[in-house]
């Protein structure tokens, strides 16, 4: 293994011009030549970067690494997230045993059975939005007209919030995951959302329905297991984690399929639910949208990929390049919706793997099996080269997606 590359690259690394779906060529080079190596961050710190699929899995499942953002060596994404993390502690910033106990309060709401029960409601949301789109202007921006409203409405459904809350969810989530968030705006948005969600807990406590917040209000708030604030924070987590992520996978996934017509026609014309399931996994793998990757700090000395990582060192598990590791995915840079890709790490790995992954899967399966079938002539309204991408956002996606049919 190369002991030291001539220069220490800055993280995150720029993608190559004209390759909007591929990770930075520098990441590919590291995967091959220096799979565990140091990088430099915005604040001058030099955490480790782990790139291989097997190493990323091993690291994220290792109890000796921590998500505690208060630890001095933790590799923060930017100044805003560092400031926000100091105020907001969600599941994503908790270690075991606190994390285990808190997560188990929410896991019953995301079982496969519950998510499958939501499928008809999600199908209806998707069909209604497509009806609206077909009745509206052509061309249209698919991000605004479809990709963002789908998860907004699904989250309303899940939390038991009225559909009128979708504008608030949309606006707040946008502020919190912007390319270059303004700290004051982000804080104000977070407070506005919390106030709304705390009020919603009271409403659900008074009049419970069939939704996550009603269950939390009745089972956790009334019994004193969770405070109103804690339930609101859980709601905020569901929104931040479930809104822009899904919207991005809808819009960027559609962009990738439109850029690979043979793959699009396989998804559209296959008539096979198993193929759509595969396609969703493959798009999750191929696009790996979490641009901030998975960040940890070592609680003890540990060895990863033959490298000694010291207690207190920051570590970035680069899921996007692990998902292009040829030892886990043959011909990894090819989008192949027929490939078995379920072992990808787009949702992370270990105890912090995405809580809402089963919901995301159902949403994406419904969208990918419906949108192209109902609008078979769907096409880009501008050349692919004219699209611009969110290079610095938490989730890598397409800014606008003008489509026609």
Partner 1 sequence: MKITIDQDACIGSGQCVLASPEVFDQRDSDGIVVLLQDSPEPGLQEDVWEASRICPALAITLTPS
Site residues for partner 1 per CB under 8 A: 60-61, 100, 103-104, 107-108, 110-113, 342-343, 347-351, 353, 357-358, 361
- By beta-carbon proximity to partner 1, the closer residue of 112 and 379 is 112
Q: To the nearest whole angstrom, how small is the minimum distance from the Cβ of residue 137 to partner 1?
A: 39
Toward partner 1, which CB reaches closer, 346 or 398? 346
- Least Å distance, CB 303 to partner 1, is 18
Q: 223: Cβ–Cβ under 8 A, 6 or more apart, which residues?
A: none
What is the nearest approach in angstroms of partner 1 to the Cβ of residue 351?
A: 5
Gap between the Cα atoms of 94 and 351, Å rounded:
10
Q: Quote the least distance from Cβ 307 to partner 1, whole Å.
A: 22
- Nearest-approach distance from CB 99 to partner 1, in angstroms: 9
Our CB check for partner 1 shows the closer of 70 and 117 to be 117
Q: Which CB sits closer to partner 1, 311 or 343?
A: 343
Which tokens sit at 198? 């705390």
Beta bridge partner(s), residue 80: none
| Cis before 290 (ω within 30) | no
Cα(340)–Cα(337) distance, integer angstroms: 8
**For the chain, what's the residue count?**
405
Nearer to partner 1, 87 or 113 (CB): 113
> Which CB sits closer to partner 1, 39 or 56?
56
DSSP letter, residue 353: S
Residue 292: how many CB atoms within 10 A of its CB?
A: 18
What's the min distance (Å) between Cβ of 264 and partner 1?
24
The dihedrals phi and psi of 279, each to the nearest 5 degrees, come to -60, -40
Closest approach, Cβ 233 to partner 1, in A, equals 19
13: burial class by Cβ within 10 Å (0-12, 13-18, 19+)?
middle
Residue 39 or residue 115: which is nearer to partner 1 going by CB? 115
Cβ closer to partner 1: 62 or 144? 62
Q: Name the nearest CA neighbour of 332 among 29, 22, 33, 59.
A: 22
Q: Are 348 and 335 in contact (CB under 8 A)?
A: no
Distance CA 104, CA 355 (A): 10
User: What is the number of helices (H) and of strands (E) in the chain?
Assistant: 16, 10
In angstroms, give the least distance from the CB of 402 to partner 1: 35
Using a 10 angstrom Cβ sphere, with 0-12 exposed, 13-18 middle and 19 or more buried, the burial of residue 9 is middle
Grouping H, G, I as helix, E, B as strand and the rest as coil, residue 322 is: helix
């Amino acid at each position: 293994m190369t002991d030291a590359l001539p220069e220490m690259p800055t993280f995150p690394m720029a993608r190559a011009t004209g390759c909007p779906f591929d990770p930075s060529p520098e990441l590919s080079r590291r995967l091959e030549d220096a799979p565990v190596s140091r990088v430099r961050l915005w604040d001058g710190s030099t955490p480790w970067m782990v790139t291989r699929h097997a190493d990323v899995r091993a690291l994220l499942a290792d109890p000796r690494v921590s998500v505690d953002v208060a630890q001095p060596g933790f590799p923060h994404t930017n100044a805003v997230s560092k400031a926000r993390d100091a105020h907001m502690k969600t599941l994503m910033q908790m270690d075991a045993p606190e994390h285990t106990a808190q997560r188990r309060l929410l896991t019953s709401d995301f079982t496969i059975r519950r998510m499958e029960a939501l499928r008809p409601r999600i199908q209806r949301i998707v069909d209604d939005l497509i009806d609206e789109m077909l009745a509206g202007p052509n061309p249209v921006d698919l991000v605004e007209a479809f990709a963002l409203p789908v998860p907004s409405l699904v989250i309303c459904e899940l939390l038991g919030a009225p559909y009128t809350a979708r504008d608030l969810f949309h606006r707040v989530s946008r502020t919190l995951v912007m390319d270059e968030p303004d700290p004051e705006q982000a804080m104000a948005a977070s407070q506005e959302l919390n106030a709304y969600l705390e009020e919603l807990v009271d409403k659900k406590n008074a009049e419970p329905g069939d939704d996550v917040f009603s269950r939390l209000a009745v089972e956790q708030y009334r019994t004193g297991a969770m405070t109103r604030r804690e339930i609101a924070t859980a709601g905020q987590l569901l929104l931040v984690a479930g809104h822009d992520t899904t919207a991005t996978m809808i819009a960027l996934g559609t962009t990738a399929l439109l850029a690979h017509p043979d793959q699009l026609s396989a998804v559209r014309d296959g008539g096979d639910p198993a193929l759509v399931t595969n396609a969703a996994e493959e798009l999750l793998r191929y696009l790996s949208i979490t641009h901030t990757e998975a960040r940890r700090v070592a609680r003890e000395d540990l060895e990863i990929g033959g490298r000694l990582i010291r207690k207190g060192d920051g570590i970035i598990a680069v899921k996007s390049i692990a998902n292009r590791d040829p030892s886990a995915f043959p011909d990894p840079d090819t989008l192949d919706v027929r490939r078995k890709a379920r072992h990808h790490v787009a949702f992370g790995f270990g105890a912090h793997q995405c809580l809402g992954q089963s919901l995301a899967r159902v949403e994406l399966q419904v969208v990918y099996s419906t949108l192209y079938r109902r609008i078979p002539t769907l096409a880009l309204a501008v050349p692919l080269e004219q699209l611009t991408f969110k290079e610095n956002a938490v989730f890598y996606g397409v800014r606008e997606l003008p489509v026609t049919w």
